[in-house]
């Protein structure tokens, strides 16, 4: 995203707040059966997961996988 985001004070219309269903980084460090895929992610996202994985002594790929699993389970 190289374009700057333009913010305004205009009304946003009807807004709906949804509950936070995403797991914490601690919960993303669990093991599970896997299937290999190729996926391109933003550097910012990968850097975040690498930093969090280092804190919990786990692999960042596992944390991303658990995040996607939790999201899919909620749908």
What digits encode the pLDDT tens for the residues 11-48?
A: 878 888 888 888 888 777 766 677 889 999 999 999 99
> Is the pLDDT at 1 greater than 70, yes or no?
no
Q: Is residue 21 part of a domain?
A: no
State how many domains the chain has: 1
Exposed/middle/buried for residue 49 (C-beta within 10 Å: 0-12, 13-18, 19+): buried
Q: Is residue 30 part of a domain?
A: no
pLDDT at 58: 93
Pick from 20, 29, 38, 41: nearest CA to 67: 29
Domain of residue 57: give its range.
35-74
pLDDT at 17: 85
Q: Is residue 5 part of a domain?
A: no
Query: What does pTM read for this prediction?
Result: 0.56
Q: Is residue 41 part of a domain?
A: yes
Q: What does the block give as tokens for 19?
A: 């509950």
Q: Is residue 69 part of a domain?
A: yes
């Amino acid at each position: 995203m190289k374009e700057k985001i333009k913010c305004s004070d205009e009304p946003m219309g009807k807004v709906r707040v949804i509950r936070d269903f995403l797991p914490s980084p601690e919960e993303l460090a669990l093991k599970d059966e896997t299937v290999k895929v190729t996926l391109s992610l933003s550097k910012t996202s990968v850097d975040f997961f690498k930093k969090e994985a280092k804190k919990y002594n786990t692999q960042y790929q596992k944390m991303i996988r658990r995040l996607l699993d939790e999201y899919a389970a909620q749908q």
